[in-house]
Amino acid sequence: MQKPVDNRAWFLVAPVFMLVAFNAILPLMTVVNYSFQDTFSNNQFFWNGVQWYVELLDPRSELGERFYESLGRSLAFSAIILAIEVPLGLMVALSMPKRGAALALCLMLMALPLLLPWNVVGIIWQLYARDNIGLFGWTVNAIGIPFNYTNSAVSSWVVIVLMDVWHWTSLIALLCYAGLRAIPEAYYQAAKIDGASRLLVFLRIQMPKLQRVLTIGILLRFMDSFMIYTEPFVVTGGGPGNYTTMLSINLVKIALGQFDLGKAGAMSIVYTLITLSVCWLFYTVITTREGKEGAAS
């Protein structure tokens, strides 16, 4: 006898779907509409078709040149961040104590940067990296290294990279620590009986068990670093010049600074599609790996 299906639970989740539709889908449709329009004074809109998309994807056009340059900076920033934060967070997680007051202190210290709002982090590092009053900037100049993030591209990149590493490495460390604590103690006991070294334990036990956690951590950090806006905008404003103008900052400048809603809408849609494509790629990797592990077991 087939069990009857009760669909009354949908009435409980219907308000959530309606809220998501109001907060996400409707604004997205508005942006899609803007991307096919041209804007003039007095909020007059005229149909422009796919012209903004053609211009955006053409590197020879002014809009396309700005788009590809800012996209390259955003991708470079995400690559640098992942190359630093993932190994560093893993090292911190491996060095953390397993229990006791020392563990509580470590968890509290690592949670503190994550609790600070993004604009506060930007203000802290804006002051901290000043070459005249900031401890970091003054110290670097005192040892003989020229440092001024307001007029040096290298210095500005150093500041925003260090700022992001300080702010978000704790997330990777906490994820990795949770993954390490989830490994059964029997694995370590078997490795100890076999006389495995610390390196072999890491390569044969810890790293395979942390692959899923690291994949999720990399996905989260890529999404956040690729869409970063507040911190570099507060610290450098996208300068000096356009050296720290990420894709998000470029988008805001076009939308609010120039009030080109059509160009900004097209860039927003392409920006969203790039982010969704990377998320889909990570989701495919995770599900494929889980399927292989399930078939093997």
* pLDDT (tens digit per residue) in 2-22: 666 677 778 888 888 888 778
Q: Is residue 177 part of a domain?
A: yes
pTM of the model: 0.88
| 161 touches 80 (CB < 8 A) | yes
Specify whether the CB–CB gap between 228 and 77 falls below 8 A: yes
Task: Tell me if 124 is assigned to some domain.
Answer: yes
Instruction: Evaluate whether residue 34 is within a structural domain.
Output: no
pLDDT digits (tens, 9 = 90+) for 217-242: 998 999 999 999 998 999 998 989 88
What is residue 222's predicted lDDT score, i.e. its pLDDT? 92
Take residue 21 and report the two structure tokens written for it.
């539709």
Question: Which pLDDT tens digit goes with each residue over 149-200?
Answer: 989 999 999 999 999 999 999 999 999 999 999 999 999 999 988 888 889 9
**Is the residue at 59 inside a domain?**
no
What CATH number does residue 248 fall under? 1.10.3720.10
Domain carrying residue 202: 70-296
Return the pLDDT at 250.
93
pLDDT of residue 42: 66
Q: Could you read off the pLDDT of 98-126 as tens digits, one per residue?
A: 888 888 899 899 999 999 988 899 999 99
Closest CA to 249 of 111, 241, 2: 241
Would strands 37-40 and 44-47 be described as parallel, antiparallel, or unpaired? antiparallel
pLDDT category at 296 given cuts 50, 70, 90 is low
> Does 236 reside within a domain?
yes
In this prediction, residue 244 carries a pLDDT of: 94
User: Which ranges in the chain belong to alpha helices (H)?
Assistant: 10-20, 26-35, 51-56, 62-95, 101-115, 118-128, 135-142, 153-181, 185-193, 198-201, 207-226, 230-235, 247-252, 261-296
- pLDDT bin (cut points 50, 70, 90) of residue 295 is low
Residue with tokens 């956040």: 224
Say if 202 falls within a structural domain.
yes
Residue 111 lies in a domain: yes
Structure tokens of 48?
Answer: 């422009």
The DSSP code sequence of 123-176 is HHHHHHT-TTT-HHHHHHHHTT----TTT-HHHHHHHHHHHHHHHHHHHHHHHH
Does residue 133 lie in a domain region? Answer: yes
CA distance from start to end of the chain: 33
User: Which element (helix H / strand E) includes 37?
Assistant: strand 37-40
Note whether 125 and 193 are within 8 A (CB).
Answer: no
Domain count, the chain: 1
Res. 1: pLDDT tops 60:
no
